[in-house]
Amino acid sequence: MCGIVGAIADRNIVPILIEGLRRLEYRGYDSAGVAVLNSSGHLRRLRTVGKVKMLQDAIVETPTDGQLGIAHTRWATHGVPSERNAHPHISRDGIAIVHNGIIENHEELREELTSLGYTFTSETDTEVIAHRIHHHKQKLGDIFRAVRATVAELEGAYALAVVSEDSPDRIILARAGCPVVIGVGNNENFVASDVSALLPVTRKFIFLDEGDVAEIRRQDVRVLDAEGNTAHREVRESALSADAAEKGDYPHFMLKEIFEQPRAVAQTLEERVAGGKLLEAAFGPLATEIFRRTEAVQIVACGTSYHAGAVAKYYIEQIARLPCWVEIASEYRYRNPVVPKNTLFVTISQSGETADTLAALRMAKQSGYLSSLSICNVPESSLVRESELVLLTRAGPEIGVASTKAFTTQLTALGMLVVALAKHHGADAERERGLVQRLIEIPGLIEKTLHLEPTIKELAKRFADKHHALFLGRGQMHPIAMEGALKLKEISYIHAEAYAAGELKHGPLALVDADMPVITVAPNNDLLEKLKSNLQEVRARGGELYVFADPDSGMQSSDGVTIITMPKHVSHFQAAAVYSIPLQLLSYHCAILRGTDVDQPRNLAKSVTVE
Ligand code: F6R
């Protein structure tokens, strides 16, 4: 998704803007641009298609510096990726803006502006905002007031940063539906879509609320809320370190993040489980009372986070014996769901800014749910701020677009939710101790599974030239098969589908031949024998089988069947997290062999802040 960076300082801010954009690259983008007020007070704009590196090269060719500026990475929504559609967009009299989000009424605003004599140089909704600001500024005389008048007319979602040649001492910001933070410096201030962009220059941040319009100067930040009243927004210190978003010795963020999983899962459990108990206050002060009253659970999420929810459904039903429904947010939000009494509404999200998940939460808050719980990786995110209960996954920044450590830490957090619910619905202290112990063992089991990397790297050579793949699992391993298929398609562009293995003979078996690898996750559980029969059906049609299996499964490699032996003693409550690891590694190595852009796969964005 698009990224914003801005700065006002007594030094040249161009390197800060470029470094900020580089740190936002993980969000996904197709073009980049910068607009800076130079020493003679004129706006200088440079835009390029492709990577931030291209913009950096353009700046070397056309030296650009200044003490006030804004920059952007664009992920195309209105209009193709091109230089003329890239941000910043400018209007008359040296007004420049960068924008994240989508303006739904841009067409009618554009028509009106055309009749007022404005000409457009792009197909974007953003250019409309630039001209609207100019239009209002002519009447109101001041850029801050002009931005406020403009945002009052906008329908949709936006985070905006605006500069103007005649106000060389400030940047104007506005937020509705898209995140934006102010970085507080010493006699200098900054702005960005998320904190990671600004960590090299500050650790202090102000998070704007929905509807806020703000004005930042070198020494001062002024915020007005949606009603136009002066608002005090706290300055918060971020615990993230500047190098949290660096690759270190790894060739890709994705590989680094796969290998960070033992630590990330352990951190997610830290201080929350102790002495064989789950400390449910970790979910928030009201947690105990809410979990006691919970009679059902509705989970809503997107993509990989949805898969974590789909696993949790099995655990919540089997272990806590509560009914649980799971749905993708983009569908849920357009239904008119019937909400059973005392249902807890749970959202799961790495970013906490996914537009559909956020909209579903807002709708749920009006729909009579008992309470809302967010399982999220970003403490300052909208989802966290708007949920009553929160359990943060402590995965650290996840930069690779393909979610890995965020997923296994979500599974861990959901495991804690299961224990909390089970405690209030029949599980005694011994049962609790047993479940907590299973959670504590997960990091060690993941560590052991990571030792399979060389084997999986070899295996990937047999997949790299395939066009399709099938992933199979049963029970709680069905969502893990779905996650494996999603990982493979999103980074290697191999078409992959996942099925509950018992469903194969109802259609997809027709696809199976020697050219269709069939990847299966087979922990030692009560569905193993059923799964083996399903695999016989594949083998009988000449399908090539790759099975990640428990050492006690009794399965052995044979003609057309490759067994990859997983660690011993992986229990039902641990299997989802542990068996997702080899599937992540397989996708990664297939993608490497196919030469794709592993960390930033085509067409995808890390934080999906549009509907
Ligand atoms: C896939 C992936 C996406 C996200 C989805 C939801 O690897 O990362 O499917 O899981 O876009 O994003 P969050 O979790 O930020 O709500």
Along the chain (611 residues), what's the average pLDDT of each consecutive run of 10 residues? 92 97 81 95 95 94 94 86 95 96 89 96 95 97 97 91 97 90 97 92 93 96 96 89 76 96 92 85 90 98 98 97 97 93 98 94 96 92 92 89 96 98 94 96 97 97 92 95 97 94 86 89 88 84 91 89 94 96 97 93 77 74
Distance in Å, CA 4 to ligand 1 centroid: 20
How many structural domains comprise the chain? Answer: 2
Domain boundary among 203, 237, 271: 237
393 lines ligand 1 (CB under 6 A): no
Q: Is 487 a catalytic residue?
A: no
Is 302 considered catalytic here? Answer: no
Other CB atoms within 10 Å distance of the CB of residue 281: 11
**Structure token pair of residue 158:** 């936006």
As a whole number of angstroms, the distance between CA 579 and CA 446 comes to 9
Q: What's the 311 CA to ligand 1 centre distance in angstroms?
A: 15
Looking at the structure, do residues 188 and 317 belong to the same domain, yes or no?
no
CB 537 within 8 A of CB 505: yes
Residue 280 half-sphere exposure, CB side, CA atoms within 13 Å? 18
Ligand 1 near 351 CB (within 6 A): yes
Specify whether 53 is located in the same domain as 153.
Answer: yes
* Cα–Cα distance, 486 to 464 (Å, whole number): 16
Do 456 and 426 have their domain in common?
yes
Determine the residue type at 488: L
- Peptide linkage before 337 cis (omega within 30 of 0): no
Give the whole-angstrom CA distance, residue 505 versus residue 521: 18
pLDDT of residue 171: 98
Asked if residue 603 is part of any domain, the answer here is no
pLDDT at 417 (0 to 100): 98
* Domain assignment present for 443: yes
Indicate if 46 and 162 belong to the same structural domain: yes
- The pick from 75, 302, 357, 603 for probing ligand 1's pocket by mutation, whose C-beta has the most ligand atoms within 8 angstroms, reads 302
- Round to the nearest angstrom and report the end-to-end CA distance of the chain: 11
> DSSP state, 145?
H
Are both 414 and 563 inside the same structural domain? yes
SS3 48: strand
Nearest CA to ligand 1 atom 16: 349
Containing structural domain, residue 147 = 3-237
Residue 303 CB–ligand 1 contact under 6 Å: yes
Tell me the one-letter amino acid at 337: P
The neighbour count for residue 545, using CB atoms within 10 Å, is 22
Cβ 525 under 6 angstroms from ligand 1: no
Instruction: Note whether 133 and 160 are same-domain residues.
Output: yes
**What pLDDT is recorded for position 282?**
86
Domain finish residue from 237, 262, 280: 237
The finding on whether 382 has its CB within 6 A of some atom of ligand 1 is: no
Cα separation, 250 vs 242, in Å, equals: 17
Residue whose CA is at the smallest distance from ligand 1 atom 7: 402
Residues with Cβ within 8 Å of 339's Cβ and at least 6 positions away in sequence, in order, are 298, 367, 368, 369
Q: The domain that contains 120 carries what CATH number?
A: 3.60.20.10
The answer on 351 and 296 residing in a single domain is: yes
Measured N-to-C along each axis, helices 575-594 and 453-460 cross at an angle, to the nearest 10 degrees, of 50
Tell me what pLDDT residue 275 has: 80
Q: Is residue 93 part of a domain?
A: yes
CB of 492 within 6 A of ligand 1: the answer is no
Give the ligand 1 atom nearest the CA of 607.
15
| Segment holding 392, helix H or strand E | strand 389-392
Residue 601 lies in a domain: no
**Rounded-to-integer distance, Cα 28 and Cα 553, Å:** 41
Structure pTM?
A: 0.77
The CATH number given to whatever domain includes residue 266 is 3.40.50.10490
Give the residue carrying structure tokens 């195309």.
Answer: 76
Give the Å distance between the CA of 431 and the centre of ligand 1: 33
Interacting residues of 2 by C-beta distance below 8 A, sequence separation 6+: 27, 29, 72, 73, 74, 75, 87, 98, 99, 100, 101, 193
The answer to whether residues 83 and 29 belong to one domain is: yes
pLDDT at 533: 84
| Per-residue pLDDT at 604 | 79
Q: What is the pLDDT of residue 444?
A: 96
Tell me, yes or no, whether 230 and 304 share the same domain. no
Check if 403 has its Cβ closer than 6 Å to any atom of ligand 1: yes
One of 137, 423, 487, 606 is an active-site residue; which one? 606
Residues 308 and 350 in one domain: yes
221 and 329 in a single domain? The answer is: no
Residue with the two structure tokens 């803006």? 97
